[in-house]
Structure 1
Amino acid sequence: MSLLDWFADRRKTAPVLRAAPENDEGDGLWSKCPECGEVVYRKDLIANCSVCLACGYHHRIDSEERLRLLLDPGSFTEIDSQLSPTDPLAFKDRRAYADRLRDSQQSTGMRDAVVCGSGSVEGFALAVAVMDFRFMGGSMGSVVGEKLTRLIETATAQRLPVFVVCASGGARMQEGMLSLMQMAKVSGALERHRNQELLYIPLLTHPTTGGVTASFAMLGDLILAEPKALIGFAGRRVIEQTLREKLPDDFQTAEYIQDHGFVDAIVPRPKLRSTLASLLAIHGQKAAALVG
């Protein structure tokens, strides 16, 4: 028997090893934490805002769950839900952009990567937008930028604070310059909102990167973040290759960003609602004092 034949026989008889999925939920009753490996009862995890009871790891949640946890029951009214992206560049890489859009819309039930509307938190009215990472990595295309701009302009006209939950890989490359221009468009709307002395608070969740970080995610009057969220513009490997030096292990984490002055507060998800209500109350008292 030749050496090649021996290896071929070994391949046929060797057991096949497969890695366990990162979040092994078994029969749906249990959930395994990808950070510490702890297996917890799924209902207990959901009751704790999808935060690991053992290590505090913040599991990713969708826009619907985020709104449920954040807003007063029945207070949310969605706007511009009919806006849907097109494919102006007829873009195609390994797959056509139109196919990617269709698959994301079918799997998420959303038209694009952000949900916008108005609601209240402990009785305080606000305009709110929630980005959803399930839809093409939460990437910002022309529809995401347009919906955010319209939301901010509506909030300015109605003198409402704006709260945006950021979760994005950045600008959507399949739309080219049409995507990049959304950075300036949303930023301009925020500047007009600020000129009216109105409050804007972004929440940076895991991950918040690319063109979203380089625009509206970092323009808040107060910038909040979830623990250990990845926050940055370029990727770690790109930065290390450019600088030709090793970066700290905690580089681009929410904690690192806060230590360097770019985040005002890190707020665990179970405390977000009460924290936001307190900030809205303080801002309302300040506004009333200025008017008085």
Structure 2
Amino acid sequence: MRDFSGGHEWLSINTATIRKQSGAEVPLDRIIDQCAERGIRAISPWRDQVAGVGLDKVAAQLKALDIRLSGYCRGGFYPAADAAGLKTALDDNYRAIDEAKTLDAPCLVLVVGSLPGALQGKAAYTDIGRARGEVRDGIAASLEYARKVGMPLAIEPLHPMQAAERACINTLEQALDLCDELDAARSGMLGVALDIYHVWWDPKLQQQIERAGHERLLAYHVCDWLTPTRDLLNDRGMMGDGVVELKKIRGWVEAAGYAGFSEVEIFSTQDWWQRSGDETLDVCIERHRSAV
């Protein structure tokens, strides 16, 4: 297992972690500069943040500062109430693939979606089996396009608490089953984004990480699970502040062949988003060395 204690060359910052600083939204170009000032070599930006600055401008800034991407957030949200909605979702995923290619991302992360309308409080239907079928078909179509463009897709399984609204793929095993169905040759074009916040509890986690291997492990996200958790979406913990065995799990991931970035992704309405971005980044660097 790699020794992170002496530096932070394998640290990446998911820009959600500092998209709010001292309670206010901060533009992506400023976030990129803050990372560069600390020698952080990689980020994973969100599409809305990129759009807020401009795709070409962000691409030029990253190139000038020699900052890479560890992933691009996000595609997915395939299920819809009708055929027109399914087409709209698929077209949006094609655009996300193109954006990821422009930014030279190693993968586009897919949060696959679930019951359409549930996030807004009114599900168009309640058949989660149908949603999973629409996810399967959407990923298959996206993969066909992604192969042409040369952009790998990374399915991110989300914690079961988000099965209705955000993702009906909830375990690493489910995600890998889809990968094996749609990419049996293990081409490197379809894999998973392993987010510790969502999968740390899974009794099959080590087994499924071994199953994934380096061909499927396309991204690795870290934070911590706080007890008690005050908000199931927006109360992620800084690494070392919670109950996740982060070093043990990274050992499993690296034993399976993963040698990429550890991407810090923290949504924290009540804590880290209330602090300065400079403080948050400095703590991320320290905890990457000591806790990840």
Q: Calculate the TM-score normalised by the size of structure 2.
A: 0.38
- Between 1 and 2, higher relative CO (CA 8 Å, sep ≥ 6) is seen in 2
Query: Which structure has the bigger radius of gyration?
Result: 1
Q: Calculate the TM-score normalised by the size of structure 1.
A: 0.38
